[in-house]
Amino acid sequence: MAGKPRILRSIEKASREEIEKLQLQRLRETVKRAYEKVPFYHRRLKEAGITPDSIRSLEDVRKIPFTMKDDLRRNYPYDLFAVPLSEVVEIHASSGTTGKPTVVGYTWRDIENWAEIMARSFAAAGVTREDIVYVALGYHWFTGGLGFHYGAQKLGALAVPAGTGFTQRHVMMIRDLGATVLGAVPNYALRLAEVAVEMGVDPVKDTRLRTGIFGAEMWSEELRKRINKVWDMESFDIYGMSELYGPGTAIECHHHDGLHVWEDHYLVEIVDPKTGEPVEAEEEGVLVVTPLTHDAMPLLRYWTNDLTFLYDSEKCDCGRTMRRIGRIKGRADDMLIINGVNVFPSAVEEIILGEPMVNHHYQIVVEREGNLDRMYVYVEAARKLSEREREELAARLQYRLHEALMINPRVRIVEPGELPRAEGGKAKRVIDKRKL
Ligand SMILES: [Zn+2]
């Protein structure tokens, strides 16, 4: 599948000097617009002793204070807009887990930028105008559906606005329409395959899906292997978030070794989560992004809370020169602290899904028992098992989790079909009862 020749746009092959020159010019424009048009930023920058003229090099971005998600909430709904509402043509809102959501606005120019970076992302995954892109993502407040939709159309492909829910209907339409590309959250790609099999539809023989573009939730390499296998598909990790238009900030190329950031639109930094100071290349930290072309709502140094690293090398065998970030390990606040040990749910997933006797449905429940945290991991068996098989499997997983993560969870193997299914949205993997 890999190795098909692909034509890169000249910007994708630009030299470091060209990219940085463009970034600096756009950064200065962005800071100037934020300073002049958004009262919040005017105050913020003034307090930090910064004027637009303070930005003379890309490193000068570090003088600017971070913008946190809370800043968006505090300016709900429109106070971060740099243009009059009459110029805004679309809004999206992120699901606020607590309190108000965060609202993001788009001018027509923003929609064009977004379509462009999504089209470029599709092209990086080998999608062409011959493709039929089945978009099984929400088309409402969530940015996934429309982002994929605009990008597929911009590329000239056929976009199918399928949305979420109605899984059996999706299976039928994927088959009947001859869809070749699937856009979804990764766990839903597996759910679709599961339902297809229940319906007597063979995901490989009866459908033409061969490319998957997945994002919006953390997914491990083990989950990817399962998706690729069950659909006979090549799947690509795409990155983005509603504050950054939506999907399309970065995507993998065919080498699947990190995600290329579209650096003509985004300036990225990796900083220490505690000090906010820049870390070295290849060192893990929080991704901080300054969009360079956002029109309606400029953001300066947006603290994504996502943990990743920047690749040291700028060269990739695909020919792109734009720098790569590692796959997102999780949000900084996804990390569980179990009796003082830091555990990422992604690390638990990697171990569980490495076991062929389980399917991809699992749930982590953390409780407080007396003075101790207790972690339960419920895992669905891939088929009906005898009690003895279940016990052996649980013991094996418990041992591996302990060995790799230094935690002592209780693993419970449940019957296939027993855990709740997410029909299209993100899977609820972790229930932390200590926080309820
Ligand atoms: Zn590449």
Structural domains present in the chain: 10-14+104-331 (3.40.50.12780), 335-435 (3.30.300.30)
- Single-letter code of the amino acid located at 55: I
Using the mean position of ligand 1's atoms as its centre, give its distance from the Cα of residue 315 in Å.
Answer: 8
313 vs 255, higher pLDDT:
255
Residue 98: predicted pLDDT: 62
Name residue, tokens 């969530």: 142
CA distances from 21 to 4, 28, 192, 211, 314 (A): 32, 11, 45, 35, 16
Mean pLDDT in residue range 113-123: 98
Asked if pLDDT for residue 84 goes beyond 60, the answer is yes
Using the mean position of ligand 1's atoms as its centre, give its distance from the Cα of residue 236 in Å.
Answer: 12
Asked if pLDDT for residue 59 goes beyond 60, the answer is yes
- Single-letter code of the amino acid located at 210: R
Mean pLDDT in residue range 47-66: 97
Using the mean position of ligand 1's atoms as its centre, give its distance from the Cα of residue 331 in Å.
Answer: 24
Residues 436 and 432: their CA atoms lie apart, in Å, by 7
Name residue, tokens 């638990």: 348
Asked whether 332 and 24 are in contact (CB, 8 A), the reply is no
Using the mean position of ligand 1's atoms as its centre, give its distance from the Cα of residue 313 in Å.
Answer: 11
- Single-letter code of the amino acid located at 263: E
Using the mean position of ligand 1's atoms as its centre, give its distance from the Cα of residue 211 in Å.
Answer: 17
Residues 359 and 382: their CA atoms lie apart, in Å, by 5
Using the mean position of ligand 1's atoms as its centre, give its distance from the Cα of residue 332 in Å.
Answer: 26
- Single-letter code of the amino acid located at 70: D
Q: In degrees, to the nearest 5, what angle opens at C-alpha 2 toward C-alphas 222 and 306?
A: 45
pLDDT, mean over the chain? 94
Residues 149 and 141: their CA atoms lie apart, in Å, by 14
Residue 77: predicted pLDDT: 95
- Single-letter code of the amino acid located at 166: F
Asked if pLDDT for residue 409 goes beyond 80, the answer is yes
Asked whether 141 and 111 are in contact (CB, 8 A), the reply is no
Residues 344 and 334: their CA atoms lie apart, in Å, by 7
Using the mean position of ligand 1's atoms as its centre, give its distance from the Cα of residue 121 in Å.
Answer: 11
Asked whether 393 and 413 are in contact (CB, 8 A), the reply is yes
Asked if pLDDT for residue 139 goes beyond 60, the answer is yes
Using the mean position of ligand 1's atoms as its centre, give its distance from the Cα of residue 391 in Å.
Answer: 44
Q: At what angle do helices 108-124 and 144-155 cross, to 10 degrees?
A: 70
Q: Over the range 8-18, which residues count as b (16 or more CB within 10 Å of their CB) and which as e?
A: beebbebeeee
- Single-letter code of the amino acid located at 314: E
- Single-letter code of the amino acid located at 26: R
Asked whether 363 and 318 are in contact (CB, 8 A), the reply is no
Cis, peptide link before residue 77, omega less than 30° from 0:
yes
Task: Taking the CA atoms of 287, 293, 299 and 301 in sequence, report the sign of the dihedral they define.
Answer: positive
Give the dihedral of Cα atoms 15, 17, 19, 21; nearest 10 deg. -150
Using the mean position of ligand 1's atoms as its centre, give its distance from the Cα of residue 210 in Å.
Answer: 20
Using the mean position of ligand 1's atoms as its centre, give its distance from the Cα of residue 5 in Å.
Answer: 13
Using the mean position of ligand 1's atoms as its centre, give its distance from the Cα of residue 317 in Å.
Answer: 6
Quote the tokens at residue 401: 């989790």
Using the mean position of ligand 1's atoms as its centre, give its distance from the Cα of residue 95 in Å.
Answer: 32
Using the mean position of ligand 1's atoms as its centre, give its distance from the Cα of residue 12 in Å.
Answer: 10
Beta pairing, strands 430-432 & 358-369: parallel
Residue 379, strand partner residues = 362, 413
Using the mean position of ligand 1's atoms as its centre, give its distance from the Cα of residue 66 in Å.
Answer: 29
Using the mean position of ligand 1's atoms as its centre, give its distance from the Cα of residue 336 in Å.
Answer: 33
Of all residues in the chain, what percent carry a pLDDT higher than 70?
98
Model pTM greater than 0.75?
Answer: yes
Using the mean position of ligand 1's atoms as its centre, give its distance from the Cα of residue 281 in Å.
Answer: 17
- Single-letter code of the amino acid located at 347: A
190 vs 313, higher pLDDT:
190
| DSSP code at position 425 | S
Determine phi and psi for 251, rounding to 5 degrees.
Answer: -150, 155
Using the mean position of ligand 1's atoms as its centre, give its distance from the Cα of residue 83 in Å.
Answer: 36
Q: Map residue 423 onto helix, strand or coil.
A: coil
Quote the tokens at residue 259: 């995600």
Quote the tokens at residue 101: 């959501």
